[in-house]
Amino acid sequence: MAAQKPRRNGIWKRVQAWLHRGHSRSVSGSPTVFLSKAVWCFEKQLSFSLPDQMLQIAEPKGQVLFEDTKNGMYLRVMKMPYRQPLQHVTVTDLQIAFRRFISVNLFPEVTHGYLRHSPMLTAVWFHPPAQKQFRRGNVEVTLKKGAEKTVLRLIQVRKTVFLLLFTDVSPDAEPYMEAILHSVSVKTGQ
């Protein structure tokens, strides 16, 4: 019998041809984000990954606060008892509960979902771009700051809710925020 050559057709040949046609390796077009630090909170009940530039800056009672030194984004992680199902939480409830962090006149976009078997709610507040006007000589200059948003993720495990609140999320920090949210894991056992 003659020695057989390994077959180079199939999926790998099609992928190689697709890459040679000028398509990038990143299908979504978003930049690659590396989350190199693993974090466990609340006696290892909640875990997630963070990029190197996010540092823990405070740990008040029942909270953990992180700051992104590169993009200026903040992450506040909290745990609280909550007996109602998350599906019954309204926009008004969120506005009242988080009025310290979010302007009351902004209404969030709310979506429900599941993280494994745990109900999950995500609320996103879009902050309009700030415009600053000043006069320099005879010329009036308008500076527009990019629109930022606040993202709140609630995950319910039995009668406990874990909160991840991202504030000052700029367009540059958004890929990091999405990657952190995808890395969240909750221990559902006792």
The answer to whether residues 86 and 156 touch, using CB atoms and an 8 Å cutoff, is yes
Burial of 151 per CB tally in 10 Å (0-12, 13-18, 19+)? buried
- Confidence at 67, pLDDT banded by 50, 70, 90: very high
Q: What percent of the chain has pLDDT over 90?
A: 20
What mean pLDDT is predicted for residues 124-150? 66
Whether the predicted model's global pTM rises above the 0.85 cut? no
Task: Check whether 32 has a pLDDT greater than 90.
Answer: no
Residue 59 has pLDDT above 90, yes or no: no
Write down the pLDDT at residue 166. Answer: 92
Lowest model confidence (mean pLDDT) among 26-35, 62-71, 105-114, 169-178:
26-35
**What confidence score (pLDDT) does residue 33 get?**
80
Tokens describing residue 172:
């540059």
Choice between 74 and 62, residue whose per-residue pLDDT is larger: 74
3 backbone dihedrals φ, ψ, rounded to 5°: -70, 135
Count of Cβ atoms closer than 10 Å to residue 127 Cβ: 17
Please give the structure tokens belonging to residue 134: 């000043």
18 vs 2 pLDDT, higher one? 18
> Going from the N-terminus, what domains does the chain have, and what CATH number goes with each?
32-132+142-186 (3.40.1000.10)
